[in-house]
Copies of this chain bind each other. A is one copy, B any other.
Amino acid sequence: MTWLRNAWYQAGWSEEVKIGKPLVRTILGEQILIFRKADGSAAALLDMCPHRFAPLSAGNISGEVVTCGYHGLAFNAHGVCVHNPHGPVTSAMRVRNYPLIERHTALWLWAGEPDLADPDLIADLSFIDRTPEPARIAMYLPTKANYQLLVDNIMDLSHADYLHPETLGGIMTGAKSSTRDAGDHIVAEWISSDCIPAPAFVPMLPPGARADVWTEVVWRAPSLMVLGTSVVPTGTTKTPEDDSYTLHNMVPETETTTHYFACNTRRYRLDDDELSAMIRPILVKAFCEEDKPMLEKQQARMGTPDLWSLSPILLQVDAGAVRVRRKLDSLIAAERAAATSQPAHTRPLTGDVVQERVSGQVVD
């Protein structure tokens, strides 16, 4: 599996999980129960009782205690067993707990070694917080394609001209583009000077105006991108108030399926509900009706999650995506090399240990 484990992954939007309304979501192939405790804070456990492997989500949750619906073992939000109706609680009775932090209207889950879960590693998405709720447009698109294909899609926005001609396209192919590796992030930039604006931008400009359009994508490992854009009449100096930022966050569900989280924000006309109502269908059309189907068809044609195995022809426009894939590959390789000193509590039990348990604990 080509996944970085020691990373924060968006497990969902905050509003997807409520007290009494937990969420079961598969992330990096693991089925995870995300729930809110009585105090409203969220927690995440592997959705599988360590006794007989029933899903904990088939039991019930009260306060911060999750009780298995099959034999009644109860666990707290740390995954520690707090009640065994059938005998003593032992230290072996625990469910994997995932560090979970709520920030920027989203739930962030650490998929790797808990000791390494540093909240400062969560990407700064304060642009979401700065945007009043009515002006934010958040989406969730479950997509049947490998997450790296979804990253490629954003790192190479040249596709907009062909896939989104009626909304966002028309200005990328002729733009001056560049990419750069900035260490902990990779940047791709497109500058379109004095262009005919993309259809979606026309209402934001004076009638008939040509435009200077600036577009930038900033990628951070493993698969989170912030797309910034500004559209101003040709020759106008853009200010920060002209910027719009959109999160594109690609969270692996399985090798060939991805949770695609998007959130569009802006810094202008924040009280203009009519503008918000106009932007939403543009994004729905582009992301849901054009990107998602194309990515799913691409994955279906590929028949494998591994792009390189098919020897793709590469174009100049792939520069950003290739940089990202290389960087991510090297991060994953480094993580695997380090994993040779994996701590004991994440190692699965061996058959010997199981037999010992069977012999020693249960059958006299």
Contacts and interface: CB of A to CB of B under 8 A. Distances in A.
A318 interface: yes
Interface string A298-340: 1011100001101111111111001100100000000000000
A68 B323 contact: no
Contacts of A354: 308, 311-312
Contacts of A55: 297-298, 300-301
A117 B33 CA distance: 49
Given A47-B301, A301-B47, A53 B312 contact: yes
A161 to B, nearest CB: 7
Contacts of A59: 162
Interface stretch (A69-77, A121-129, A281-289): A69-77
Given A53-B310, A322-B358, A159 B71 contact: yes
Interface in A49-83: 50-55, 58-59, 67-73
A298 B53 contact: yes
Of the candidates A53, A93, A156, A302, the one having the most CB atoms from chain B within 10 angstroms of its own CB is A53
Interface in A19-44: 31
A86 B317 contact: yes
A139 interface: no
Contacts of A51: 312-315
A326 B359 CA distance: 11
Contacts of A319: 362-364
Contact of A159 (B70, B90, B323): B70
Interface stretch (A130-138, A228-236, A258-266, A345-353): A345-353
A50 B314 CA distance: 9
A152 interface: yes
A173 B317 CA distance: 65
Given A31-B301, A301-B48, A349-B311, A72 B318 contact: no
Contact of A152 (B52, B173, B293, B300): B52
Contacts of A315: 51, 71, 73, 84, 86-87, 361-362
Nearest to A177: B86
A86 B158 contact: yes
Interface string A150-188: 001000101101110000000001000001000000000
17 contacts: A52-B152, A53-B301, A58-B297, A70-B294, A71-B159, A72-B161, A85-B158, A85-B161, A85-B173, A86-B316, A87-B315, A87-B316, A93-B313, A311-B348, A316-B362, A319-B363, A323-B363
Given A51-B315, A55-B297, A314-B362, 18 more contacts: A48-B301, A53-B302, A53-B307, A53-B310, A53-B312, A54-B294, A54-B297, A59-B162, A70-B294, A71-B158, A71-B159, A71-B162, A72-B173, A85-B158, A86-B317, A313-B357, A314-B358, A319-B363
